[in-house]
Structure 1
Amino acid sequence: MDKLTAAKVMLDVAQTESFTATAERLEMSRPMVTRYVEAAENWLGARLLQRTTRKVSLTSAGEQLLPNLQHWVEQAQQMEESLMPTQAITGYVRLSVSMSFGFSQLMPALQAFRQRYPGIKLDIDAQDRAVDMVAERIDLAIRTTNEPNPALIGRPFSVCYSKLVAAPEYLACHDPITHPQDLTHHACLGYKNFGRQIWQLIQGEQQHDVEVNCDVTANEATVLLHGSLAGLGISMQPDYLAQEWIDQGKLVWVLPEWQLMTLQMYLLYPSRKHLSPPVRALIDFIIDHFKTRSSQ
């Protein structure tokens, strides 16, 4: 039997503590999982798992050998992938991303990815909410946050800068805005997932946390963007959405001398142990693509 596959199955059983769970996760029969585990134990010359009717646990030999086995699998996978032509990598990636980043940044980049990896199929789940990556079978998520989920592996790949924006028509009909506190007297459009609408503005060593009045809220940035374009009020927008409208004169940057909090953009995935070649290829592509863009 293939030693690499046997090692991967062994590691998965050690993690799930269940032959049945591993069989479901790896989409193979339970007897096949048992055969792979036995093959790995014969190959390593030691019994690695203690089986009972209720639980599977590591033996003392298993505890000693498992880290080395994990390292060997990672090295073997990296070597396989480095030697594999990009056209030969096939598979499926389920990706979770916000609608705003998905249509404005990710989709234009994926043309180059598809040309490089024509055998990789993508299933993109675009919505602005937290997802249970395991329950929803999400392989990879793109999130904008300074506090990534500690239960997930997080790799930063870019930075998100934001601006306060409003339509010229709105600003012409309302009191001027010269200081962050002036925002409390204006119609603001907020993200409903944030709870209290507190906008943090920074200028040098000064910081103002302003609780604004939001009669209109939404769970998605482009909805608020078009609200501002329609003259409903002031919204906080990522640069990648707002800048083109500012350049066209359809939006105005409000309080340009004040900065909003900078957020990190992360690639999140459940575990390093089960990264398939297609998922690893997409991670590497996104990191390289946005690194190249930021250096231009």
Structure 2
Amino acid sequence: MMDRLTALNVFVTIVEHGSLSAAASHLDMSRAKVSRYLSELETWMDARLLHRTTRNLSLTGVGEETFNAALGVLNMAQSLEGIKQKNALDLEGKLRVTSSYTLVDSLLIDVVNDFVKQWPKTSIDILSTSEPLNLIESRIDLAIRITNDLAPNVVAKRLGECRSVICASPEYLAVHGTPKDVQALAQHNCLSYNYFGRSAWEFDGPNGPESVSIKGNISANVSEVLLSATLRGGGISLQPFPTVKRYVDTGALIPLLSEWKVEALGVYAVYATRKQITPLQRAFMDFLSERVGRSLNWQPES
């Protein structure tokens, strides 16, 4: 008799990866075995689930209904497995996690260190990178990102939020002066991170929302570049506070205009698929969410 749970898993993997061959590679199965599971599932459903040509693969009407139902079944199965493992008090396995250099350094490495101490049969492989990776191609289990601009099709769990701070080095302020209000930023060299936009920064100030047109001679798509330039006296930038706290504590950076608040950024765990969230993934996300709540959700002191 067909293992229907496995067949549903194979079917969902085919759809998400776009072909039988890609699904076989992902599942570490032969293509023939993947094809057999699909055929048996179609026999069980008494319907064709996929339109297949040499170049294309698409869901039939029944296939789309089956796909959505399969996601629910697989998620339920994983939840039950998570309960089982949680009760067994014995997590094991390996996770591959990716994040930016600054977030790894300011948060993730401490979380990972504590997690593997608590669960000694687990191991975590951290990939630090300034560029988003293709999670499937890179075999990444979780990507930890700070953003309010996730793509609509991204599968993610919100872990918490992160406050930001306007900051500059003492050297920059000594030469150019300290802005007294956010409108004065228009007269300064503001280093723009693409998330905030190149032409305006938005604030919630003492008198309500304010928008400030800014200009500067350095912009970048990753905050690490702007942090480095800010530390070198290149200008004023907006930074996630946890990544600059050490520099604020030592005086290498000065927080500015604390009465004007910047919109908080979401902290997310991003993963490749809606199905098969393993007990280890779920446990690590819960562990990280609790730590984010304690470590990131703060605003610099006024």
Give the TM-score normalised by structure 2.
0.80
For residues 293 and 206 of structure 1, do their structure 2 counterparts lie closer, same or farther at Cα, with a shift above 3 Å needed? Answer: closer
Deviations, residues 14-44 of structure 1 (Å, cap 9, x unaligned): 55564323212212101221343455567x5
Q: Secondary structure at the match of 1:113?
A: helix
CA shift, 1:99, in A, is 1.5
> Could you tell me which residue of structure 2 aligns to residue 280 of structure 1?
282
Once residues 219 and 167 of structure 1 are traced to their aligned partners in structure 2, the CA distance between those partners, rounded to angstroms, is: 21
**Contact 1:48–1:61 (Cα < 8 Å) also in 2:** yes
Q: Tell me how far apart the structure 1 counterparts of residues 255 and 229 of structure 2 sit (CA, whole Å).
A: 15
The residue aligned with 2:240 is 238
Instruction: Please give the alpha-carbon distance, in whole angstroms, between the structure 1 residues aligned to 2:64 and 2:166.
Output: 54
Quick check: 2:78–2:277 contact (8 Å CA) kept in 1? no
Q: Does 1:90 align with 2:72?
A: no
Select between 240-249 and 11-20 the one with higher mean Cα deviation.
Answer: 11-20
* CA–CA separation in structure 2 for the residues paired with 1:252 and 1:206: 24
Query: 1:118–1:182: structure 2 CA closer, same or farther, 3 Å change rule?
Result: same
1:258, distance to aligned residue in structure 2 (A): 1.4
Distance 1:48 1:203, change over 3 A: same
Superposition deviation, residue 7 in structure 1: 3.0
Question: Counterparts of 1:10 and 1:267 in 2: how far apart (Å)?
Answer: 25
Between the aligned residues of both structures, percent identity stands at 31
1:28: which partner in 2?
29
Task: Tell me which amino acid in the other structure corresponds to 2:109.
Answer: M
**Aligned residue pair count:** 294
Identify which of 167, 171, 174 aligns with 2:173.
171
Give a deviation string over 1:220-267, Cα, whole Å, max 9, x none: 434433433343332222111233333333332211221222222222
Distance change >3 Å, CA 146–CA 246, structure 1 → 2: same
1:11 partnered with 2:16: no
Q: Secondary structure of 1:150's match?
A: coil
Q: In 2 relative to 1, CA 48–283 (structure 1 residues): closer, same or farther, beyond 3 Å?
A: farther
Instruction: Classify the secondary structure of the residue corresponding to 2:246.
Output: helix
1 CA distance for matches of 2:18 and 2:231?
A: 54
Distance 1:141 1:12 in 2: 20
Looking at structure 1, the residues matched to 219 and 61 of structure 2 have their Cα atoms a distance apart, in angstroms, of 56
Q: Distance in 2 between matches of 1:60 and 1:180?
A: 55
What's the RMSD between the two structures over aligned residues? 3.3
Secondary structure at 1:34 match in 2: helix
Amino acid at match of 2:29: M
CA contact (8 A) 1:17 1:56 kept: yes
How far the C-alpha of 1:292 sits from its partner, in A, is: 4.7
**Structure 1 unpaired stretches of 5+:** none
Which range is displaced more, 164-173 or 186-195? 186-195
Question: In structure 1, how many angstroms separate the alpha carbons of the residues matched to 2:194 and 2:297?
Answer: 34
Residue 154 (structure 1) aligns with: 156
Q: Structure 2: how far apart are the matches of 1:16 and 1:166? A: 46
Q: Secondary structure at the match of 1:281?
A: helix
Q: Distance in 1 between matches of 2:51 and 2:222?
A: 49
Contact 2:47 2:62 in 1 (8 A): yes
Deviation at 1:136, TM superposition (A): 4.0
Kindly provide the amino acid, as one letter, of the partner of residue 26 in structure 1. L
